[in-house]
């Protein structure tokens, strides 16, 4: 397994729809393992392939709490097959927008279908944080960032803060 570099917004790969994965093979399994390692190291609870500059429909998620057993999900070509009418508002962040947070309204319950790392079709219902995380990561596969769900004013405030963060980070690294 290997740590991958996480792409920071703005970056064109984050704004374009990712390509479907044609077959689940050893290269895809290795990439999913690398993505999990990268996500845990960041640390985060979800990571989509476009966030490591790979435009493929791959997602890894582990929304288990600190006192819970890890529950990693490796998802190939995930799709929402059902969404509740009820909505929830949760504060979200993103590894591609470091140190930026904002409230996002999403479906409170979903059902997602995907292929696992062995090419087997899986389905799972999710609520709460896991539901929001899955929707957030699938958004990445469609070229949508969490700030795209906010008003232009809030989105621009976050993007300006991110630009300042990037400048200060560049000074630190120099």
Chunked mean pLDDT (size 10), the chain, 174 residues: 92 97 98 97 97 98 92 97 98 96 97 98 97 98 97 94 89 79
| pTM summary value | 0.95
* Residue 117 is a catalytic residue: no
At residue 173, the pLDDT reads 81
The catalytic position among 92, 99, 137, 172 is 137
At residue 66, the pLDDT reads 85
DSSP string, 90-140: EEEEETTEEEEEEEEEEESEEEEEEE-TTS-EEEEEEEHHHHHHHHHHHHH
Both tokens of residue 41?
Answer: 């190291």
User: Positive or negative CA dihedral for 79, 159, 44, 51?
Assistant: positive
- Nearest partner of 95 among 3, 2, 5, 1, judged by Cα: 5
Neighbours of 168 (CB within 10 A): 10
Q: Which domains does the chain have, with CATH numbers?
A: 12-173 (3.90.45.10)
Both tokens of residue 49?
Answer: 């392939």
């Amino acid at each position: 397994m290997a740590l991958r570099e996480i792409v920071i917004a703005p970056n064109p790969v984050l704004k374009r729809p990712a390509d479907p994965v044609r077959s689940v093979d050893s290269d895809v399994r290795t990439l999913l393992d690398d993505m999990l390692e990268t996500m845990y190291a960041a640390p985060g609870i979800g990571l989509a392939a476009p966030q490591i500059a790979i435009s493929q429909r791959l997602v890894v998620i582990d929304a288990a709490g600190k006192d819970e057993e890890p529950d990693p999900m490796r998802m190939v070509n995930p799709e929402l097959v059902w969404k509740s009418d009820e909505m929830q508002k949760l504060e979200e962040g993103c590894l591609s927008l470091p140190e930026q947070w904002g409230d996002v309204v999403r479906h409170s319950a979903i059902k997602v279908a995907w292929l696992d790392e062995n090419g087997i079709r899986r389905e799972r219902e999710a609520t709460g944080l896991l539901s929001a995380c899955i929707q957030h990561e699938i958004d990445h596969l469609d070229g949508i960032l969490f700030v795209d769900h906010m008003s232009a004013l809030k989105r621009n405030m976050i993007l300006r803060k991110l630009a300042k963060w990037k400048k200060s980070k560049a000074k630190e690294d120099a």
